[in-house]
Structure 1
Amino acid sequence: MLPDPLIIVGVCAPERRRYADRLSAATGRPVVTVGSRDSTVIASPLLGPAPFIAEMATEADLLHSPLADRMPPPPIICVVDATHMVDDLTSGVPLIEHPLPGTDDGDHGARARRAATLVEAASIVCLVGWEELETATLSMLMALASHLNPHARVRLSRSPEEDVRSLEASPPPPSSLPERAGWVCSLNHEHDPWMTDIRVATVRYERLRPFHPGRLSRTFDEMDAGRFGMILRSGGFCRIATRPHTLARWDHVGSAMWLDPLTTSMHDASTGQDIAFTGLDLHATLLFAALDEASVTDRELTSGPAGWRRFTDPLPPWPRDDSNDVESDTR
């Protein structure tokens, strides 16, 4: 018997809701809709002990929800509209039009990031609305989902009942939701997707030299223009020469990029660039060459942090967090 609850996620609300309703009819479990500000209602005793299906709104933060904060986490079914999958990962629209202060839900591309993170956290990815698509397109989409989350079972969904049976027969994914993401698997030397396609690739870039912020910004523009293929998702860690003492999280989906400061710990001082890229028709050699050109040169390297401070830095600043003497913000 499947654990309780069954969590249904996905950024396409109509498809997600229809799937949850069909699963409810098949299992007899009621559907509880979880929104962005009411996820804690799940802990209420008013729901009683009966198993249920949690249909999570697009705005709901799965990774920080009490629903998923269990050991082991409950099954997560990500419903993906096959006809819109690539568009969802490249959309520049925000997650919320009028976000709460202090959040990045209103950022350019925030909805695309949510689409990626839901696939990355899933136990099983169910593609719906696929029937009219060509076989080559289906192969690419299934491989893309598998590259984004190598631990998830990926299915062309015919019915929720069949999907649940497949889920029951599958080995459990890692208990830590972030460790399921393809970019994390790549950095951990564990990226082995169930499905592959000639158009889909994941590549890893590792270097010690920090990036020159001006040249890196131009490389971002080239990525967005498709010079290196269609880079749909990249994640990892990087270091900017003008901010050499702070290791940053590289978080990119479609046309949106966030650089989040992480730590100034000496333990991480030897970490330079370690980034995984997933996309379609990638030109890895060109991409890596451009990233190398965005790094500091031999002459610049010898000048050290004192000289790097003179570089033009067009990247958004990181406001200082005086509570721990670490710069912190998001791009």
Structure 2
Amino acid sequence: MNHNFVLSPPHLKSLKTSPPSHFRLRDFTLNEDSKLSLAGRNYFAAQYGGSSFIVCLSEGGSSLSHTKSLPPCFVLSPVVEFSELVPGKLVSATERSDSAIQASIAILPCQHTWSLPLFAHSPPPSPEDKDAGILLIQLLHAVKCLQACGVDSTLASMEEFLLCGDDKTSVPRLCVLPVATDKLTPRLTLCQCVSKAVSLLLPLSPLSPLLQSILSVEKLSSLSQAKSVLELWVWGPEDLRLNEDKQVALQRWLDLDRATCLHSLVCSRPPRLSSQDYAHLLFLVRTNAKCLADAARVLHDYRSTKHTIVLE
């Protein structure tokens, strides 16, 4: 599903300030060929007032707003939500076109949207694709947040993860969709979920076997260790030779990188952080020299078993 149009801010403002009762689905021109189905919801590219949006439809009164205490960066924020009877074919593949179903309708800003498997297969990433690494870091942040909310598994199809971005050349933002709990639906543990994503996003990377090995151990610490290794691979210093002053050297590097990043943000004053910049900033704020040293040791031990990992 590809959305190439730029949203007009005045139209976005008018949607936000209008009451939900003001809208009807017929006001939006849907491109039915653009349908993307994820987690029981259908997403369509649409036009309204000369501007482009995404229209999300789900059966019943299932709101797109999240009930879990997830950080805003992982939550889709509709411009407006409303409910009405809609043609059944827009909500369910099994319904006749002349039937009507009560549906929840969410209007989202226009952007590119992908499922995680769809993004991974078009085009395939290179063995050292750091953008794929950043996407995996976002996923690890998200599943650790789910873990903190008491969630211990995800859909085996990974349908609750929606990727949103301006285009395929930038790292998309990963969003977590609310899903209905169904004991009959195949599920994966959180470690298995990330392991599957590693296979999809870094299938050719020499780092993949190490990450798979870490995630094969079903422990709370496995997600954190995998995240630290990925962060070091994506953003860490070039020279990772281990010595007795390793932690001191890493602390010096971390202080310098924090100062450089802060200076860059102050000078550029971006209106909003990209998903890549946000993930990098989280890494700099939350990591410490000990975590980096532990991750460096894991990478060093792995390389010593005749695997080769290029850090830069």
Shorter chain as denominator, the TM-score bin is under 0.3
The structure richer in helix per residue is 2
TM-score of the superposed pair, with normalisation by structure 2? 0.27
